[in-house]
Amino acid sequence: MKKAAASLIVLVILLGACSGTDSSEEAKENSGAEASESATAAASPEASPSEALSPSASPSPEKLPLAEARVAGRYLGGGLGFDLAFVPKCKSGPCDVWGVTKKSKSSFDQDGGFYRGGGTFHEDCSAGGVTTDMAIKLRMTMRVSKAEYVKDVWTATVLDFQARVDSPGAKKSVTSGGYIRTVTCDPVHNKSHGKMFLKGH
């Protein structure tokens, strides 16, 4: 009986030893697998959502010489007395332009960053509810003094000008309700200089 009990105790010890060895090896294998997964994750990090959604910065367009700026659009004639809209005679780049008002247009020739030309423009002269036409002869030289990209086009935004303006004046009388109303536009003969600004810039 004692021998049988001793044998049973030895068998239990042996079984316990074998079971302990298996658990230890399994733990080592699991630990090794987790370490391998951690190393892989560290070696191949994924981009964060903010990095993935951030657009790459596009390079700013290169500034070109002022002489290559395109004169196009409506320019506010500070010191000139009226505004001018310039319409290029070409599809792209700097070139000769038309100077246009509501009633008239005249040509300006382009030479580098300079534009020279003019013609006779017609503007309204009004007073006391009476309006008459006033002819203005304009000779003008313009120079591009500032430019920037406008809708991806290198465009003149400021023009320095020197102008000669001549007008014989105008006069008109209207009879209404027994009264005579008269508008008189004085003759103009002067030289002026200043800056014209592209509308909105």
Residue type (1 letter), 73? G
Are residues 91 and 11 located together in one domain of the fold? no
Round to whole Å and give the CA distance between 44 and 24. 31
Are residues 73 and 29 located together in one domain of the fold? no
Give a yes or no: residue 120 inside a domain: yes
Are residues 31 and 98 located together in one domain of the fold? no
**Domains of the chain: total:** 2
Dump pLDDT digits (tens) for 142-200: 999 999 999 999 999 999 999 999 999 988 888 877 888 888 989 989 899 999 999 99
Full-model pTM: 0.64
Are residues 78 and 23 located together in one domain of the fold? no
Dump pLDDT digits (tens) for 45-83: 454 444 445 555 566 789 999 999 999 999 997 777 788
Structural domain boundaries, residue 171: 66-198
Are residues 10 and 79 located together in one domain of the fold? no
Give a yes or no: residue 43 inside a domain: no
Are residues 32 and 97 located together in one domain of the fold? no
